[in-house]
Structure 1
Amino acid sequence: MSQKAYIVGTADTKGPELSYVRDLIAAAGHETVLVNIGTKGGEDGVDITAAAVAACHPEGPAAVFVNDRGQAVVEMSRALTAFVQGRDDIGGIIGLGGSGGSGIIAPALQALQIGVPKVLVSTLASGDVSAYVGASDVNMFHPVTDVSGLNRISRKLLGNAAYALAGMMAHEAPVVEDDRPALVLSMFGVTTPAVQMITEGLSDRFDCLVFHATGNGGRSMEQLISQGDVSGVLDITTTEICDLLVGGFLSAGEERLDSIAQMKLPYVGSCGALDMANFWGPETVPSHFKGRQFYHHNAQVTLMRATPEESAKIGAWIGAKLNKCDGPVRFLLPLRGVSALDIEGGPFHDVAASEALFGALRNTVVQTSTRQLVELDLHINDPAFAEAAINNFNEIYEWKVN
């Protein structure tokens, strides 16, 4: 089946803009499908009506066509997500929206597989776009003017977005044949030496995909694992869990580690950067953290040392997640430090906090023949730690495949 460019928006309020983008993409040589998600008419020239989209809602179209605008937006988003997941001819997709339209379209784009070209032209694109991009590869374009009428600015910027999608569809990145199984790894600046040594030691046998543990990085890693596209995980840097539980800015959410349990993949994890919660500049640190121990990584990033109480909570949380994993698990405890800052003489070296973390893991994890804690009298960035991580992964990977 030929792959088509889908153009999505509220045709009742943005009909001329949607048609303009569609015509440019069609002129670039792509078959197009214009999808209306507006509920107040204006459907001349659309290929998929709002009623057809609403019919995909799990509870039927009546759930979408309600009098409350906020509820209608939420339910149309659910319907659109179900609609796109049911299509097998989406070669690329572009959405146009203000706050309401962006809220409808973004979850549907996120639901598509990573690698499918996705563009969202949104009046909210110049602010915090994390909710609209999520863990996926949505490309957001800021239209500068509102998406309301065609003028000398909007024609140029909507044209740029249209041709961006057309270009992505016309020129796929070269496919490099690689029969090595894919592994995912998590890394942070303060665990970079460990992950680089592990990657170097495994890259002859595996295609190593390294994710930056910045919240979205962890979510993206989890999404890729859930898609079934990887063969193993070396989750060396679980720092996002510290942000979740302590209140930092780089949380990957409550779902962190859930894909490991779901997919039962060979998993080697560790405590990388669990000594710190992350904030932006000093002015962004909440006032209730006044008096805590901080390290100013740079002008934009402020790190806060986790306390023994917080560390115990983190260890117990991870342990409970690991107990749900039926696949082969090795969780490594680097007893001499979990980050470049947590080292003897370093600014975050705190024996009490480290012991609280390790003790909570020991007390919580139910160890079995396949689920084990591995204690190492090493720092996480020691070469011997990387070697131990590689050896443990090779052991459980061979056990899994055989």
Structure 2
Amino acid sequence: MAPSKNSVAVIGTFDTKLQEFLYLRSRILEHDSSLNVILVDAGRSDVDHEAITIRQHEVQEASGFRGDLQSLPRSDLVKTMISGAAAILRRLESLGEIQAIIGLGGSCGTTVASAVMRELPVTFPKLIVSTVASSDTSSYVRETDITMMYSVVDIAGLNAVLKAVLDNAAAAIAGMAKAYAKRISLGPADANSAKKGVGITMFGVTTKGVDATRKWLERNGFEVYVFHATGAGGRAMERLLAESRLHGVLDLTTTELADELVGGVFPAGEDRLTAASKAGLPQIVSVGALDMVNFGPKDTMPQKFQERTIYEHNPSVTLVRTTKQECEELGRRISQRLKDNCIEPGLTEVWLPLRGISAISIEGQAYYDKVADEALFTSIKKGLEGTKIKVVEVDLDINDPRWSEQVARRLSELFEKKSEKATA
């Protein structure tokens, strides 16, 4: 049951920024006086103030650390407070006692707030006002939906600019909390909740095929979630699969594994290609865009790749063609991860588009390399020999509409297979 009063959690280091947090609190209440504001102190020193809901010593207690907090090195202190605050806020969220969370700070405060927020479910409202929000925020956001707002000035005393920024943030989080509470109150009545959710991975060079696959699935009653295979996209899909937010996957674009192997800019980590297998969900895995490794602008590409086959996808993305040896290793990794994690191998299949694994690897295009592709296909087939994981070879390219319909139809059949097994 939803609480009678919606709440916003505010997390930060109150021993250094209490004035700014109290101002933020006042502005949230000004925008929506019906809200309850829960201040969570994750600072080094305990602060005694009537507005603080969860004191610093309570956060320490929740972390399990019973020693002298003041004696800890800064990095260990931060880890301790993250652990305690995350435990408290996970519990509050799971009980439906908070409907949004906001933090503010410099690099340390942002580290604490973002780490805690990453422990909360995707789509739960999260906002950080930060001095580092105008730089690379990928280490803070990762695969989650944290909203970052640049503070413009340092969060060190109130002035006209910071007050205006905090006022915007307060209005935003108040609105987010209200919208989230309304959405959650709908519960299963949401029409989309009855649909089976399917994750699909996509890249620019597999877009045509993925779009056709998506449309077929949508016409046949599935809700489709497309993930851009840029590292964070693959991690986000794995997370939603692990959280049971998705019911199956068409992992058509596994290019992130090439970046992981060769050192590109879009790796998704060693957990990539594991969540659906561990959950026993219907999945079809393919080899989309494994012909390429991704780098930034051409002049930023490591020197050792300058002699390779280079393709400028756009001014911000430069591609390097994977070699025969790299393709062999990629095939080995795909088959090994599937073998190591599949609890229902009969619901997993690997589909190989023999005429091209991306828009630029078909015959006549820049990355056409039959030898490298054959090495990839052979490695996968060899790696899955003797397992119940089926390998399907299709004499089409990955963007052919006939491929798209075949792979979508087969995933639908795997869903039926899983359903029949569950009711047998």
TM-score (norm 2): 0.91
* Selected match of 1:208 from 224, 235, 257: 224
- Tell me whether 1:390 sits opposite 2:408 in the alignment: yes
Asked if 1:10 corresponds to 2:16, the answer is no
Look up the SS of the partner of 1:218 in the other structure. Answer: helix
Which residue number in structure 2 is paired with residue 248 of structure 1? 264
Match of 1:264 in 2: 280
Tell me the percent identity.
37
In structure 1, the partner of 2:302 is 286
Shift of 1:303: 0.8
Secondary structure in structure 2 of the residue aligned to 1:141: strand
Pair 1:91 & 2:99 matched: yes
1:177 and 2:177 matched: no
Contact 2:46–2:55 at 8 Å: present in 1 too? no
- Give 2:383's aligned residue: 364
Deviation at 1:366, TM superposition (A): 4.1
Higher helix fraction (1 or 2) = 2
1:155 aligns with 2:160: no
Do residues 69 (structure 1) and 74 (structure 2) align? yes
The answer on whether the counterparts of 1:272 and 1:339 sit within 8 Å (CA) in structure 2 is yes
Moved over 4 A (4+): 172-176
Partner-residue secondary structure (3-state), 1:111: coil
For residue 369 of structure 2, the aligned residue among 350, 354, 361 is: 350
- Output the amino acid matched with 2:119: A
Deviation, structure 1 residue 336: 1.0
Secondary structure of 2:250's counterpart equals: strand
Q: Tell me the distance in 2 between the aligned counterparts of 1:332 and 1:26.
A: 55
Gap runs ≥5 in structure 2: none
The range that moved more, 38-47 or 337-346, is 38-47
Cα 1:294/1:257, change in 2 over 3 Å: same
Aligned 8 A contact 2:12 2:41 in 1 = yes
> How far does the alpha carbon of each residue in 1:122-168 deviate from its partner, in whole angstroms, 9 at most, with x for none?
11111111111111110001001111111111101111111110111
Decide which of 53, 58, 72 is 1:52's aligned counterpart. Answer: 58
Q: Report which stretch shifted further, 164-173 or 103-112.
A: 164-173
In structure 1, the partner of 2:342 is 325
1:378 CA displacement: 1.2
How large is the RMSD of aligned CA atoms in angstroms? 1.5
Q: 1:203 to 1:80 in 2, by over 3 A?
A: same
Q: Is the 8 A contact 2:279 2:343 kept in 1?
A: no
2:396 equivalent in structure 1:
378
Deviation at 1:368, TM superposition (A): 3.7
The letter for the 2-side match of 1:54 is Q
SS at match of 2:28: helix
The answer on 1:191 being equivalent to 2:206 is yes
C-alpha separation between the residues in 1 aligned to 2:313 and 2:290? 16
List runs of 5+ in structure 1 lacking aligned partners: none
Letter in 2 for 1:17: E
Which amino acid is the alignment partner of residue 200 of structure 2? L
Q: What are the within-5 Å matches in structure 2 for residues 230-241 of structure 1?
A: 230-241=246-257
Q: Please name the residue that 1:298 is paired with.
A: 314
Residue of structure 1 in register with 2:289 after alignment: 273
Answer yes or no: is the 8 Å Cα contact 2:199–2:246 preserved in 1. yes
Aligned residues: 400
Mapped to 1, the partners of 2:130 and 2:67 lie a distance apart of 28
Match of 2:142 among 130, 134, 150: 134
1:64/1:76 contact within 8 Å kept: no
- 2:52 match: secondary structure: coil
CA displacement at 1:261 relative to structure 2: 2.2
1:38 deviation in Å? 0.6
Q: CA deviation at 1:67?
A: 2.6
Q: Distance in 2 between matches of 1:367 and 1:141?
A: 52
CA offset digits 1:172-217 (Å, max 9, x no partner): 4866522221111111110011111111111131011111111111
Counterpart code for 1:69: R
